Amino acid sequence: MSKSKGKVVSVNESLVGVETTDGAVINGEVAMIMIADGKRLKSEVIDVKEGGVVYLQVFEDTGWMKVGDEVMFTGLPLAVKLGPGILGSVTDGLQNPLYELAEKEWFLERGIEVSPLDTTTKWHFTPIVKKGDTLTGGIALGHVPEKLFQHHIFVPFSIKGDHTITHIVPEGDYTIAQTIAIIKDELGNMHELQMAFDWPVKKAMPFNERSVPESPMPTGIRIIDALFPIAFGGTACNPGPFGAGKTVLQHSLARHSQADIVIIAACGERAGEAVEVFKDFPELIDPRTGKSLMDRTFIVGNTSSMPVAAREASVYMATTVGEYYRKQGLNVLILADSTSRWAQALRETSGRKEEIPGPEAFPMYISTLISAFYDRAGVEILSDGNIGSLSIIGTVSPAGGNFDEPVTQATLLSTGAFWGLSRALSDARKYPAIDRIDSTSKYPPILKKEEAAYLLELLRDGKSIASNMLLMGEKGITDESYIRYQKAELLDAVFLQQNSFDKVDGVTGPERLRLMFTLVKEIIDAPVSIQGKEAIRSHFNFLRQAFLDWNYMALDDEKFEKQKSKLTTLVKQMGYVAENI
């Protein structure tokens, strides 16, 4: 492990050239740059040139840095500290706790270092191994309670080979800095273990046994669950132009999806939006537990006003924490907002390194990096038989809503579900503004596949008829086609659209989704005896409003069944044959 030294020879924004003066340096290791005011700026080696010159990307402001400043190489990669205390915290991309930093300084001063996890809090540790047991990396020594969950304390995953326990503490209260076990390797070397350990953020944790994502993850969003689902351990992207509802959609997924743990990676979003997350989430009540939503949330914040290089770190930081909690046997959901700004940070760094640019000046290897990021999602069968999963949903913000740009295309190739946000739908105030025709998913829906296909066929027919109406007007199509069009409009209005601000309509569970689909299908399948465009339109408007009123009634509301009966009666009175509703 190197402990090299060097001197700054060039400064180009966040890219700093360093000439090594002592020892060897490797790609990926962390270096500390000593500036004039005595502070140390953290950086990472991203390129090693012949002749002893290396390039660092600095995670903090490089203002007032000068040629000749001393550099100390740590010999260690950029890592995250894993252990109890992560849930409920808000950090930047280097795992500096933002709330603790705010208490020290009104502005986030560069060079400040704070322990990522509280070293004074005591956790009640219960051992599940004993002296003399043989174990290896990834085996649980015991557990502590953390918020809503039982947090397993592992032997660090980096430890290989069989080790023997020579000492294990009894059940009691300990801090993460205290030694809880001592193990001996095959050569007789002793290793002291604490509750927390480090893991390199850019190194994916190995799967014990990987499985295929095939169990749908309910999100509470009807259009996703019914038509374009995501599975536990799956991946999805939702590209869209500014103002199309990406952030609102992510907030709904954070609150209502059936994941155990939610990790929000604000990698390059505008500071105002990120601050809204920081302020709102601690005040939100988790509808599943009745407690604070932060009890099962971890937020990594690197906004557009923070140094560019730290955006990349924030993405990998969130992913590594997600992999750790997957090892706990939990279902984890990462919401990355926005991967486009992460890619833009990579483009800036690549340009300063004078690499050969790819399409739109993004690095040639951008597809490889995006694919590697999403590949860290998945379902894992653990050694004790439990199953954990890590799902990743990334937003993409293509300039001008152009889905043909490199980042969007690379993301589409790497994810299993595509939720394209439409400017036309968002302008029409249709939420979620997920495109009903162009969006796709390879995962099984909560409904049956043939049922989802049935709805999509109606939507495609409705769009085709609407195009004909633009050319020929209502008089240019038959009553039969107009009825088909009205059925598609009704499906969109009462089933695919939701009011995210209403506590009932804002989230739809699998049971209610099935009830709604059954009623909608009966309405769509039933013949209509009404004639004349005006009468047909009036009929569907009346029926649509009655259905929307039903959407705002809770399942246990005494009015719920009455409104359903009213809908059935309206259908029969207006020319439908609606049986078995």
Q: What is the pLDDT of residues 391-427, one digit of tens each?
A: 999 999 887 778 889 999 999 999 999 999 998 999 9
In this structure, how many other beta carbons lie within 10 angstroms of the beta carbon of residue 383?
A: 11
Residue 99: predicted pLDDT: 80
Residue 252 in contact with residue 220, Cβ under 8 Å?
A: yes
What are the structure tokens assigned to 578, written together?
């609606």
User: Which tokens go with 345?
Assistant: 């940070």
In terms of Cα–Cα distance, which of 407, 406, 412, 403 is closest to 442? 412
Are the CB atoms for 123 and 175 separated by under 8 Å?
Answer: yes
Residue type, 37: D
Q: Report the alpha-carbon distance of residue 494 to residue 498 in Å, rounded.
A: 8
Low-confidence spans in the chain with pLDDT less than 50: 1, 576-581
In angstroms, the CA 191 to CA 198 distance is 15
Model confidence over 493-528: pLDDT tens digits? 999 999 988 989 999 999 999 999 999 998 998 888
Give the integer Cα–Cα distance in Å for 118 and 569.
62
- Where do we find the tokens 């007032």? 64
Res 248: pLDDT: 84
Position 98 scores a pLDDT of 83
pLDDT tens, position by position, 170-214: 999 999 999 999 999 999 999 999 999 999 999 999 999 999 999
pTM confidence score = 0.93
Residue 576's pLDDT is 45
pLDDT at 269: 67
Q: What does the chain come to in residues? A: 581
pLDDT of residue 37: 81
Give me 256's structure tokens: 């209502």
Query: For position 284, what pLDDT does the model report?
Result: 80
Between CA 131 and CA 182 the distance in angstroms is: 9
What CA–CA distance (Å, rounded) separates 332 from 329?
Answer: 9
User: Do 420 and 432 touch, CB atoms closer than 8 A?
Assistant: no
Q: What is the pLDDT of residue 24?
A: 82
